[in-house]
A and B are shown apart, each in its own frame.
Chain A
Amino acid sequence: METMGTVTPISSVFPAEEAQKASRRVQDTIAEREQQLDQLKGFINDNVSVINLVQKLPDETHHNIMVPFGKAAFFPGRLIHTNEFMVLLGEGYYAERTAKQTIDILKRRGKALETKVESLKAIMQDLEAEASFFDATAQESAEGLVEIREDYVGEASSGAETAGYGKSDSTSSLEVDARKAAVEDEEYTRIFSRIDELEKEEEEAEKANESDEDERKQNELDSTIREMSVHQEVRSSPVQAIDAAKAPEAPAVSKDGSSRRDCPPPKSSTMNKVLELPEEKKKVQAPPTTSNMAFTGSIIEHAHNIGMNMPEQQTGARSSKPVSRFKMQRK
């Protein structure tokens, strides 16, 4: 049995300057789109003025104008046949239309332009969201945020473990994990002996309702493991107290509802890293949704307020709730 807990500083996965680069690139794309948007708006304005012109040209039989002759010369002349327009339909085809028909064509063209503008605006909104996400990542990375990720650990299924682990974690954390395995083993034998004790106590306490002994055991195990980790480690040292606080919320995700569960991370060097962080912030990414999915979600936290308010609130609620809900489901 080994833990899959890993602490990955975000800056190692997404270095700040890389994230900034990405954000800058997205900003460039936004600027490009803005130009396109301006161009489209120019087309729309042109279209409107042409519609106005076409509307009032047939009011008279002829208009005196300067007829362009090439780009640099003009002849004095006049417009004739003021109700006949040649309109480009596309691909070099022109149609002769009256003023009214021309206006209809131009209005349809205007509508097409409007839809283009709309879609462009939607794209730009997406890009802006992306840019702000990159900015946020860059900032978090610069602040030294860490991601704590723990995988579900099955009771005896090491094969399943590694599979689940590979799914949810990056390769770098796998390596970290391998290194930690040896240190953790000892810790876990201790933890599990404690679990057994607590299990017995609880079994005696609630003999009343059970149908499926095995399943119930697992749930109890779930809760006791949390309680235990909190109690044990709160006793020992402040560093471990923080471990305990994190442990109940930190485990990673698995939706298969099997017998896997999370274990508190050991007081290894990775944990201490968290303490050194200057600023704190925490983020719960995926709160548990159903009762038979034990504790899911990965958490990112910074170190200060953890010691004070986390342990009681989080662990208390977690340790009691899943068991009872699960039982209700079984009935």
Chain B
Amino acid sequence: MDSAKQDKVRKFEEFVDRRLKPDLVHAIAQRDKVFEQQKIFSDLRRNIENLEKNSVTSLRTLVNLGSEVYMQADVPDTRHIFVDVGLGFHVEFTWSEALDFVAAREEKLSRQIEEYTRLIASIKAQIKMVCEGIRELLQLPVTEL
């Protein structure tokens, strides 16, 4: 009886440590990646809006060649922009097209973030539940965390 109970507790703990916690860490890492993407696209949107507002048609900028060595680069015509659409493809857009695309992309990313947040919450809930189960098995008093 007692050993069976201990066995069960051990199994539950293993489930939490080997399954739920790695899942949680993974989900959080995934969400962070999506956050990064979101930031990239919101920056891009802001930059394009800036170009539009100031009606900049030619641009001089510094390009990083690696190891923090920069060289000047000249962009004669900024009205055509190539945006990464995923899988290594870049599509040539005008400013308005690019803004539409970025808006759609941002919406999708925020949906993904929502999804991951929900997933993380449910994993956390499962961990909590299993811990509660262990507590009941051991007949420990309820502790407020």
**Chain A residues proximal to chain B, CB less than 8 Å:** 46-47, 49-50, 53-54, 57, 62, 65-82, 84-88, 94, 102, 106, 109
Contacts and interface: CB of A to CB of B under 8 A. Distances in A.
Contacts of B40: 70-72
A88 B44 contact: no
Contacts of B41: 72
Given A75-B82, A77-B74, A86-B62, A70 B43 contact: yes
B81 A79 contact: no
A86 B70 contact: yes
Contacts of B64: 68
Contacts of A102: 69
A212 B62 CA distance: 91
Nearest to A87: B69
The DSSP consensus for interface residues of chain B is strand
Contact of A70 (B44, B67, B75, B77): B44
A262 B59 CA distance: 90
A86 B71 contact: yes
B62 to A, nearest CB: 6
B76 interface: yes
B68 interface: yes
B81 A82 contact: no
A180 to B, nearest CB: 44
Given A72-B40, A77-B73, 20 more contacts: A46-B66, A46-B67, A53-B66, A68-B63, A69-B81, A70-B47, A72-B84, A75-B80, A77-B74, A77-B75, A78-B74, A79-B71, A79-B72, A79-B73, A80-B72, A81-B71, A81-B72, A86-B69, A94-B70, A106-B67
B65 interface: yes
B8 interface: no
B112 interface: no
Contact of A72 (B62, B76, B83): B83
A76 B44 contact: no
Contacts of B124: none
Interface in B15-73: 40-41, 43-44, 47, 59, 61-73
A75 B84 contact: no
Contacts of B47: 69-70
A57 B84 contact: no
Given A67-B61, A80-B72, A86-B62, A74 B67 contact: no
29 contacts: A46-B66, A54-B69, A66-B82, A67-B61, A67-B63, A68-B63, A70-B44, A70-B47, A72-B41, A72-B44, A72-B83, A72-B84, A74-B90, A75-B82, A77-B73, A79-B72, A79-B74, A80-B72, A80-B73, A81-B71, A81-B72, A82-B71, A85-B69, A85-B71, A86-B69, A86-B70, A87-B68, A102-B69, A106-B69
